Amino acid sequence: MILRKEETFYREKMKELQLTRLKKTIEGVYETVPFYKHRFNEAGLELSQLSHLEQIQQLPFTTKQDLRDNYPFGMFAVDQSEIIRIHASSGTSGKPTVVGYTKSDIYVWSELVARAIMMAGAKKGEVLHNAYGYGLFTGGLGLHYGSEMLGMATVPVSGGNTDKQIQLIQDFKPSVICGTPSYTLHIAEKMEKQGISPFENSLRVGILGAEPWSEKMRSVLEEKLGIKACDIYGLSEVMGPGVAMECHEGQNGLHVAEDHFYVEVIDPITLQQVEDGQEGELVFTSLTKEAFPVIRYRTGDIASLSREKCVCGRTTTRMSRIKGRIDDMIIVRGVNVYPSEIEHQLLYSKEVVPHYQLYVNTTGTMDRVSLHVELTEKVYKEASFSVQHATVRKISTDITRRLKNHLMVSMDVTVCAPNTIPRSEGKAVRVIDQRVLNSYT
Ligand code: DLL
């Protein structure tokens, strides 16, 4: 295993490096991005007085709305002629957020993704099947450049055309598969249907992320594909995939690339930093980016931090798996719950497949949540192809009870016939908020 020296720095040494880079970044954006100059002046900041990393808390936050207000290139810190790549994240409403990269940004990003792939246990000379979408989304090209930099034979299949993907996996014999957990599951299920056993395929590592997933989903994917599945995190506003990565030795939290990003967790209400181990909203400050530096960017993602040394030997701060996004949290009769927690409980039931959707509706003043799950083909057959069968009613009652006992939430569970819940080729849509839909009708 090859580790970069920055991955094993003592905390003080890492902080020293971060402070030097932070100073350079904030002095740079003050000069080059009118938005930051205005914000820093408004906050009455004396940038030359920054002498401790902890003083970062005096800097104002940046939000997605700020990026939208400066659409498309208002937050770029270099001349247009320095930009060699543009990505954008679609978002569900309004304008997309647009991000740019210089040549050096692409180099650093590729290096970090190469580091992430190694962390998952892959190496030069192996074949990597990249099923993340290519295009404006950072997943496809992000993994692609990192994989090439590492010296892997990179197969740029992108998302979709699942039968073809399976054919290529059979023929090219990749050791690594990259994709969203939900789409990778779809590939795994199709392989199963075609009678390809997990022991027959060449895969041994999964680099999965871009959407929240649960520990139980990890076991399902590991079992179905015969792989070690590692979580990869990132977001276009901060860079793309590779901001943090789980190591295959520990599979217990994601190592943040702290030499390039300063991470904080804040209480989304008080906006104050919380203690290590406590959950809150992740906030990132980029330390080396040229084209699109971000200062205290509020991600909307919920996680906690740990500074304990990992079994792999890395000393970098680890973030927990993402529990969910603030805007995906559902409040069911006063109880806060994230789709990934529901997923975790649901997957204990062997009679249903791991695809699900949550419909949120309002009756009177109460929000009602209905969980739609899908039967396995085997159980459906045993229930005489009817979702009204007594067996199916029992499955529904058991899932309802489990959710009530473990998450303290009561929700209606609708058990559907096989293949009725839409499969995604990228990020899965887990929550269908009919409160929003209804308000437009
Ligand atoms: O999803 C970048 C990425 C590509 C990460 C491939 C990993 C693999 P965006 O499209 O900008 O970028 O979406 C970023 O996706 O704020 C999280 O809400 C979510 N997300 C990303 N990785 C994870 C993960 C890419 N491992 C948004 N677990 C982020 C949970 C994740 N959620």
**Domain final position from 288, 303, 326:** 326
Of all protein residues, whose CA lies closest to atom 4 belonging to ligand 1? 139
- What are the structure tokens assigned to 45, written together? 């900041």
Per-residue pLDDT tens, the chain, 441 aa: give them: 678 999 999 999 999 999 999 999 999 999 999 999 999 999 999 888 899 999 999 999 999 999 999 999 999 999 999 999 999 987 655 788 999 999 999 999 999 999 999 999 999 999 999 999 999 999 999 999 999 999 999 999 999 999 999 999 999 999 999 999 999 999 999 999 999 998 889 999 999 999 999 999 999 999 999 999 999 999 999 999 999 999 999 999 999 999 999 999 999 999 999 999 999 999 999 999 999 999 999 999 999 999 999 999 999 999 999 999 998 898 888 889 999 999 999 999 999 999 999 999 887 777 789 999 999 999 999 999 999 999 999 999 999 999 999 999 999 999 999 999 999 999 999 999 887 655 544
Q: How far is the CA of 209 from the centre of ligand 1 (A)?
A: 6
Residue 298 shares a structural domain with residue 400:
no
341 lines ligand 1 (CB under 6 A): no
**Domain final position from 326, 346, 374:** 326
| Residue 358 lies in domain | 329-438
* pLDDT tens for each residue of 59-113: 999 999 999 999 999 999 999 999 999 999 876 557 889 999 999 999 999 999 9
Q: How far apart are CA 159 and CA 157, in angstroms?
A: 7
Number of domains, the chain: 2
Q: Which atom of ligand 1 sits closest to the CA of residue 244?
A: 26
Residue 44 shares a structural domain with residue 113:
yes
Residue 317 shares a structural domain with residue 338:
no
What CATH number should be reported for the domain holding residue 409? 3.30.300.30
DSSP 60: P
**Domain final position from 309, 326, 343:** 326
Q: Between vectors from CA 298 to CA 296 and to CA 299, what angle results, nearest 5°?
A: 125
Of all protein residues, whose CA lies closest to atom 23 belonging to ligand 1? 210
Note the pLDDT of residue 12.
Answer: 97
- What are the structure tokens assigned to 238, written together? 């901060």
Q: How far is the CA of 249 from the centre of ligand 1 (A)?
A: 22
Residue 233 shares a structural domain with residue 374:
no
Q: Terminal CA-to-CA distance of the chain, rounded, Å? A: 57
56 lines ligand 1 (CB under 6 A): no
Name the 3-class secondary structure at 176.
strand
* pLDDT tens for each residue of 217-246: 999 999 999 999 999 999 999 999 999 999
Residue 338 shares a structural domain with residue 314:
no
The pTM is what? Answer: 0.96
- What are the structure tokens assigned to 377, written together? 């083909």
What CATH number should be reported for the domain holding residue 40? 3.40.50.12780
Q: Which residue reads 């997605």 in tokens? A: 64
Q: Which atom of ligand 1 sits closest to the CA of residue 236?
A: 11
233 lines ligand 1 (CB under 6 A): yes
51-58, Cβ contacts within 8 angstroms, sequence gap of 24 or more: 51/19, 52/19, 53/15, 53/18, 53/19, 53/22, 53/262, 56/22, 56/262, 56/264, 56/285, 56/296, 57/264, 57/273
Residue 355 shares a structural domain with residue 297:
no
Q: Phi/psi of residue 160, each to 5°?
A: 95, 175
